[in-house]
Amino acid sequence: MAELSTLARPYAKAAFDYANEQAVINDWEDFLFVASVIVNDASFQALLDNPAITAEQKSAALVDIYDEQIATDADSALKTLLQNQTHRTQEVNNNKTSASIKNFVIQLAEQDRLALLPQIYEQYRLQREQTLQEINAYVTSAYALTSSQRALIKTRLEQTLNAKVNMHESIDPSLLAGATIKIGDKIVDDSVKGKLKQLQTQLTT
């Protein structure tokens, strides 16, 4: 995995530098996210591994799938998945793939690097966090957060970390109540389940 990340890093940096310069960071991140999902699909992996299919055909297939799923007024599986990325605060746009993204995909295909798109997406996000001083916080709660709870957590984290925080939410009923917050390799467990486990440990030691 480390080797794949190393291979992906220069592509991600080039993509982010361009996107940052052109003020289209979200557009590129959206594409890279969806593209990473597509290339992880077994059917698309078979297409990538087929030597009879040209690089141009592979890149065109990827772009076509994106445009069919995202650049539409109708709901679609990938569009819903993208919209549910919890760092988003606005609707997914319906624009088709830009010429610059198409050229990027063609270059990846010609260099037999389309399979690296999941790693490129992760490295792109890291580049974004480092450049814009953003931090991803993964909040898992027993129940869906209310708007006020979300705003309170976000504000406190940003004040504590002195950085913009992108919150990614998920629900785990087994927590019973409360929430856990994961930032990097650090986890804050303020759930009832976590407190019960801590109590159990104290009682048995």
Higher pLDDT, 39 or 164: 39
- 73-93, pLDDT tens digit by residue? 667 777 777 776 644 545 556
Alpha carbons 194 and 92: distance in angstroms, whole number: 36
pLDDT number for residue 41: 93
Number of domains into which the chain is organized: 2
Are 148 and 126 contained in the same domain? no
Within 13 Å and on the Cβ side, how many CA atoms surround 178? Answer: 13
The whole-model pTM stands at: 0.66
Residue 15, pLDDT score: 95
Q: Do 53 and 145 fall into the same domain?
A: no
Q: Are residues 137 and 118 in the same domain?
A: no
**Residues above pLDDT 90, as percent of the chain:** 38
Q: Which pLDDT score is estimated for 94?
A: 66
| pLDDT, the chain, mean | 84
Lowest mean pLDDT among 116-125, 145-154, 175-184: 175-184
| pLDDT(42) > 70 | yes
Residues 83, 7 within the same domain:
yes
Q: Which domain holds residue 159?
A: 133-203
Q: Are residues 182 and 113 in the same domain?
A: no
CA-CA-CA-CA dihedral for 169, 171, 176, 179, to nearest 10: -10
| pLDDT value at residue 86 | 45
**pLDDT at residue 2 in the model:** 60
Here the CATH number for the domain that contains residue 142 is 3.40.30
Q: Which of 130, 156, 190 is the endpoint of a domain?
A: 130
10 Å Cβ neighbour count for 84?
10
> pLDDT, tens digit, for every residue of 128-174?
888 877 788 888 988 888 888 888 888 888 888 777 888 888 888 88
Do 113 and 161 have their domain in common? no
Domain end call among 130, 148, 175? 130
Q: Could you tell me the CATH number of the domain that includes residue 95? A: 1.10.520.20
